[in-house]
Amino acid sequence: MASARLDQLLSRCGYCSRREVRTWVKQGRVLVRGESAESADQRVIAEEVHVDGSPLDSPDGLLVLLHKPAGCVCSHDEAEGQNVYDLLPKRWGHRNPAINTIGRLDRDTTGVLLLTDLGPLIHRWTSPRHKVPKVYEVTTDLPIEPALVALFASGTLILEGETEPCLPAKLEIVDVRQARLELTEGRYHQVKRMFGSAGKKVTRLHRSRFGDYGVEGLDVGCWRILEIPGT
Ligand code: URA
């Protein structure tokens, strides 16, 4: 286990600024191996540190599964209104590196949203090369013709304003205006644009799976920490 400076560690985990760590140490709020910490710059092993009686919160990085509700955006920009980060613990907003979403869902889309502060994980799970399957439950304004199954599977569908065709996608028609669509890429508004190319408006969109993850047992707006998978 690698050691780190106490002040760097606490500020990286979002507890307080490096300067404030000095005060916290003086106040006896920080324990190392059960004893009051000696100084803000002492080297420590994260697993041996307690703050206010609790072990450090996810010092090796965070991977979080959120059941995204409608009405919030996947953006850090407060000007865009309520965002998904507002649904997470406040302290996580001060972590460094920052927590980001792995891909984005539109404001009105619900379902599986992963967030992490581990950059390589974002890269791995958003790159089309890795073909992570994403499953969407789609409701449309007009009936979905069976011919769309072959079109979406063909790998020839070119979205408006693009030159590269979409990768083959699996469409399963569930009801007259309901379908399940599995994609292995994540282009801008991809599901809505794919249906839009066939003259249909998506009236409801829910992501039921992202890779191995689903929202079973997780209420809308709630989250849980996931184990970080190996490489
Ligand atoms: N495709 C869309 O059109 N919107 C989403 O939110 C996700 C995928």
Task: Kindly state whether residues 42 and 82 are assigned to the same domain.
Answer: no
pLDDT at 2 exceeding the cut of 90: no
Average pLDDT, integer, range 97-112:
98
What residues line ligand 1, using a CB cutoff of 6 Å?
A: 105-106, 109, 189-192, 205
Q: Per-residue pLDDT averaged across 57-61, rounded? A: 96
pLDDT at position 231, please?
60
What spacing in Å lies between the alpha carbon of 101 and ligand 1's midpoint? 14
Q: Report how far residue 33's alpha carbon sits from residue 205's, in angstroms, rounded to the nearest whole number.
A: 49
* Token code pair at residue 200: 């249909």
Q: 66 pLDDT exceeds 80?
A: yes
CATH number of the structural domain spanning residue 41: 3.10.290.10
Q: For the chain, what is the domain count? A: 3
Looking at every residue in the chain, the average pLDDT score rounds to 96
Q: What is the pTM of this model?
A: 0.95
- Please indicate, yes or no, whether residues 45 and 75 belong to a single structural domain of this protein: no
Say if residue 1's pLDDT is above 80.
no
* Domain CATH number, residue 151: 3.30.70.1560
**Structural domain includes residue 231:** no
pLDDT at 163 exceeding the cut of 90: yes
Q: Write the DSSP assignment of 62-128 as a string of letters.
A: -EEEEEEPTT-BS-S-GGG-SBGGGGS-GGGGG-SSPPEESS---TT-EEEEEEES-HHHHHHHH-G
Q: Are residues 191 and 220 in the same domain?
A: no
Choose the catalytic residue: 57, 106, 141, 175: 106
155 and 184 housed in the same domain? yes
Using the predicted structure, report yes or no on whether residue 125 has a pLDDT greater than 70.
Answer: yes
CB neighbour list of residue 139: distance below 8 Å, 6 or more residues apart: 177, 178, 202, 203, 204, 205
Q: Are 37 and 30 in contact (CB under 8 A)?
A: yes
Rounded CA-CA distance 111/97 in Å is: 25
* 204 inside domain: yes
Domain identity same for 73 and 183: no
In a domain, 230, yes or no: no
Residues 141 and 182 in one domain: yes
**Which of 228, 7, 198, 8 shows the shortest CA–CA distance to 118?**
228
CA–CA dist 53, 114 (Å, integer) = 29
Task: Provide mean pLDDT across the span 35-59.
Answer: 97
155 alpha carbon – ligand 1 mean position (Å): 19
Q: Are residues 8 and 105 in the same domain?
A: no
Q: 37 with 140, same domain? A: no
My answer on whether 165 and 179 are in the same domain is yes
Name the residue with higher pLDDT: 129 or 192: 192
Residues 204, 221, single domain; the answer is: no
Domain shared by 219 and 114, yes or no = yes
Burial of 99 (C-beta count, 10 Å sphere; 0-12/13-18/19+): buried
How many C-beta atoms lie closer than 10 Å to residue 53's C-beta? 7
Write down which residue in 35, 55, 75 finishes a domain: 55
Give φ, ψ of 21 to 5 degrees: -60, -35
Ligand 1, atom 3: nearest CA belongs to which residue? Answer: 189
Ligand 1 pocket test target in 140, 160, 190, 210 with most atoms within 8 Å of CB: 190
What CATH number does the domain containing 73 carry?
3.30.70.580
Q: Which atom of ligand 1 sits closest to the CA of residue 202?
A: 3
Index of the ligand 1 atom closest to the CA of residue 105: 6
pLDDT of 230: 82
- Peptide bond connecting 97 to the previous residue in cis, omega within 30 degrees of 0: yes
Domain that holds residue 154: 133-210
